[in-house]
Amino acid sequence: MKLSQRMLDTVAAMAPEAFARRMLEEGRVRAGLTRHRLRLDDGLEYVYLEGGRGEPLLLLHGFGSSKDNFARVAAHLTSYYRLLIPDHIGFGESSKPAEGDYSPPAQAERLRRFARALGIERLHLGGSSMGGHIAMTYAALYPEAVASLWLLDPGGVRSAPRQPVWESFKRTGRNPLLVDSGEDYARLFALLMSDPPYVPRPVFEVMARARIANREVEQRAFEHFGRDPLEARVEGLPVPTLIVWGEEDRLLGVACGERLQQLIPGARLIRLPGIGHLPMIECAERCAADYRAFRAELAG
């Protein structure tokens, strides 16, 4: 029997952390993903999800989020590809060095070592928001190691018009991506998605507390990310690229996608009406179908 939202709130309130863990695990099971750990030679540890068979597809989450942001879309991909979905260093369950370098080049270099530790020299690469910035940086640094790019509302473009939220940040100093309270997290959640999934209120509060606890690392990561404009790095990038953009993205407007399409030769841009910043969550089945079609075209 499917519980109503009110009943889910009541059940979740009995043990919020346990209920949140159960929700994540159920999403992973549905997607055919299992959780793993990998320690690099410098001692930094990645926690990642893996599932499926076929050519490797490395998926990179955005700022402040985690590997489980890809669980919905992964359910439509693990029958076709071998998925590897890590928490970035500094986020989720992976290592969070207080003085770490969280710039896209540093993250890309670590991910290259992560892939090679798994015996993978060449892969397909996807990324959402900040993860898209890191994915493009990876491809620019190691073009021979990247078979294709899948970019979901990626960050890093500075030469396109900015959304009003960033003008507000410039004026007030209030960063919309950093979380100091439950109210901040609620505002961010509403900003990111036009059609968000339902999350029981007690679970929502667990998620907010995790963001608050990681606030100092996220501040550092945001500063490093913000000092890394992307355009010169990706202009002329010789990697087949699919760009996906929610037309209702209030964080990074679709003009950024249009700019990337100009910079990356042959890049294809898909615009999604009624969708916000996280299409792999808001319209997972459509995103997966478009991606599979892209990969089929590449295969010829």
Grouping H, G, I as helix, E, B as strand and the rest as coil, residue 31 is helix
**Residues with catalytic annotation?**
61, 129
pLDDT in tens, 72-90: 999 999 999 999 999 999 9
**pTM for this predicted structure:** 0.96
Other CB atoms within 10 A of residue 22 CB: 13
Contact call for residues 140 and 237 (beta carbons, < 8 A): yes
Q: What is the mean pLDDT of the chain?
A: 95
Long-range contact set of residues 70-73: C-beta below 8 Å, sequence gap at least 24: 70/128, 70/280, 71/24, 71/27, 71/28, 71/30, 71/31, 71/33, 72/27, 72/31, 72/197, 72/280, 72/281, 72/284, 73/280, 73/281, 73/284, 73/287, 73/288
Domain boundaries, the chain: 5-299
Name the β-bridge partners of 268: 242
**pLDDT at site 184:** 93
Nearest CA among 60, 125, 72 for reference residue 288: 72
**pLDDT at site 62:** 98
pLDDT in tens, 208-262: 999 999 999 999 999 999 899 899 999 999 999 999 999 999 999 999 999 999 9
When pLDDT is cut at 50, 70 and 90, the band that residue 187 belongs to is: very high
Other CB atoms within 10 A of residue 194 CB: 20
- CATH code that applies to domain 5-299: 3.40.50.1820
Grouping H, G, I as helix, E, B as strand and the rest as coil, residue 281 is helix
Contact call for residues 203 and 292 (beta carbons, < 8 A): no
Q: How far apart are CA 179 and CA 212, in angstroms?
A: 5
pLDDT in tens, 148-176: 999 999 999 999 999 999 998 989 989 99
Cα atoms in the Cβ-side hemisphere of radius 13 Å centred on 269: 19
In which element (H, E) is residue 63 found?
none
Q: How far apart are CA 267 and CA 224, in angstroms?
A: 27
